[in-house]
Amino acid sequence: MRNLHKVVALIALSGMCLAAQAPSDGDPAAKKSTKHHAAKVEKRAEKKASPAKRDETAEKLRELKDMIEQQHQALQSVQQQLQQTQQQLQQTQQQLTTTQQTAQHADATAIAVESNSTLQVQKVQADLTDVKTVLATNTQVVQKTEKKVDELEHPPSIAYKGIRITPGGFLEMTGYYRTHATLSDQATPFNGIPLEAWAGGSAVAAEAAYNPHLSELGFTARDTRITLRADADAGTTKLTGYYEMDFFGTGPTSNPNQTSSYVPRIRQGWGRAKFGNGWTITGGQMWSLITLNRSGNESDNSKLWIPNIIEAQYSVGYDWGRFAEFRFNKQIGDKFNFAIAFDNPSYLSSTNNETGSVAGLASTGNGLLGNSLVSTCSSVTTSGVVTGTECVNTPLYSTNLVPDLILKLSYDDAKLGHYEVKALGRAFRDRVVGTAEKQGWNNYGYGQGIGAGAIIPVVAKKVDFIVQGMYGKGISRYEDSGQYDFIVRADTDHSVQALKSYSYIAGFETHPGPKTEIDFLFGQEHYYQDLYLTNAAAVAAGTAGQVWGGYGAPTTSVSGCFYENAAEAVAAGAGEACAPNNKTLWNLKLYGYYDLIKGPHGTLRYGAEFDYDQRTTWAGGAPAATIANPIQTGGITQAKGNDKTGFVTMRYIFP
pLDDT at residue 356, rounded to an integer = 54
The number of beta carbons lying within 10 Å of the beta carbon of residue 42 is 15
Question: Would you say residue 521 has pLDDT above 80?
Answer: yes
**CA pseudo-torsion sign 40, 43, 48, 51:** positive
Contacts of 615 (CB under 8 A, 6+ apart): 190, 191, 193, 195, 582, 584, 585, 640, 641, 642
Q: Which residues pair with 322 in a beta bridge?
A: 287
Percentage of the chain modeled with pLDDT above 70: 74
pTM of the model: 0.73
Taking residues 544-554, what's their average pLDDT? 77
**Three-state secondary-structure class, residue 149:** helix
Contacts of 356 (CB under 8 A, 6+ apart): 377
Question: Would you say residue 93 has pLDDT above 70?
Answer: yes
Closest CA to 361 of 457, 437, 265, 428: 428
Q: What is the CA radius of gyration of the chain?
A: 56
First to last CA, the chain: 100
Closest CA to 594 of 605, 578, 585, 583: 605
* pLDDT tens digit sequence for 529-541: 988 877 766 666 6
How far apart CA 132 and CA 139 sit, in angstroms, is: 10
**Mean pLDDT score across all residues of the chain:** 81
pLDDT at residue 45, rounded to an integer = 45
Closest CA to 272 of 238, 305, 304: 238
C-alpha separations of 632 from 293, 526, 553, 556 in Å:
41, 19, 12, 16
Which of the 8 DSSP states describes residue 208? T
How far apart CA 320 and CA 565 sit, in angstroms, is: 37
- The least confident of 19-28, 538-547, 603-612 is 19-28
Q: Pairing between strand 322-332 and 336-343?
A: antiparallel
pLDDT at residue 348, rounded to an integer = 83
Contact 649, 173 (CB under 8 A): yes
CA atoms within 13 A of residue 266's CA, in its CB half-sphere: 10
Question: Would you say residue 294 has pLDDT above 90?
Answer: yes
* pLDDT tens digit sequence for 558-596: 777 777 776 777 777 777 777 788 999 999 999 999 999
User: Is residue 23 very low, low, confident or very high in pLDDT (cuts 50, 70, 90)?
Assistant: very low
Taking residues 273-296, what's their average pLDDT? 97
CATH topology of domain 158-653: Porin (2.40.160)
Which comes out higher in pLDDT, residue 566 or 476? 476
* pLDDT tens digit sequence for 327-338: 999 999 999 999
418 burial (CB, 10 Å; 0-12 / 13-18 / 19+) is: buried
How far apart CA 579 and CA 635 sit, in angstroms, is: 13
C-alpha separations of 278 from 219, 224, 299, 339, 611 in Å:
46, 35, 15, 12, 42
How far apart CA 107 and CA 642 sit, in angstroms, is: 91
Which of the 8 DSSP states describes residue 490? S
Q: Is 296 left (phi over 0), alpha (psi -120 to 50) or beta?
A: left
Contact 457, 477 (CB under 8 A): no
- The least confident of 39-53, 88-102, 114-128 is 39-53
pLDDT at residue 29, rounded to an integer = 41
pLDDT at residue 115, rounded to an integer = 67
C-alpha separations of 480 from 467, 472, 600, 646 in Å:
15, 15, 35, 19
pLDDT at residue 388, rounded to an integer = 53
Q: Which residues pair with 136 in a beta bridge?
A: none
How far apart CA 228 and CA 322 sit, in angstroms, is: 17
Taking residues 87-113, what's their average pLDDT? 71
Percentage of the chain modeled with pLDDT above 90: 45
Which comes out higher in pLDDT, residue 69 or 241? 241
pLDDT at residue 40, rounded to an integer = 53
- The least confident of 235-244, 346-355, 457-466, 607-616 is 346-355
DSSP string for 328-360: EEEEETTTEEEEEEEEPP---B-SS--GGGEES
Taking residues 431-456, what's their average pLDDT? 91
* pLDDT tens digit sequence for 434-444: 888 888 889 89
Q: Name the strand (E) or helix (H) holding 302.
A: none
Contacts of 121 (CB under 8 A, 6+ apart): none
* pLDDT tens digit sequence for 205-246: 444 445 688 899 999 999 999 999 999 999 999 999 999 999
Closest CA to 554 of 600, 618, 499: 618
pLDDT at residue 375, rounded to an integer = 43
Taking residues 34-39, what's their average pLDDT? 49
- The least confident of 85-89, 137-141, 400-404, 632-636 is 632-636
Q: Name the strand (E) or helix (H) holding 61.
A: helix 51-153
How far apart CA 178 and CA 468 sit, in angstroms, is: 27
623 burial (CB, 10 Å; 0-12 / 13-18 / 19+) is: middle
C-alpha separations of 530 from 339, 501, 521 in Å:
33, 11, 30
User: Is residue 51 very low, low, confident or very high in pLDDT (cuts 50, 70, 90)?
Assistant: low
Looking at mean pLDDT, say which of 51-60, 121-130, 162-171 comes out highest.
162-171
The number of beta carbons lying within 10 Å of the beta carbon of residue 217 is 10
pLDDT at residue 361, rounded to an integer = 73
Question: Would you say residue 351 has pLDDT above 90?
Answer: no
pLDDT at residue 537, rounded to an integer = 67
pLDDT at residue 91, rounded to an integer = 78
**CA pseudo-torsion sign 117, 123, 126, 132:** negative
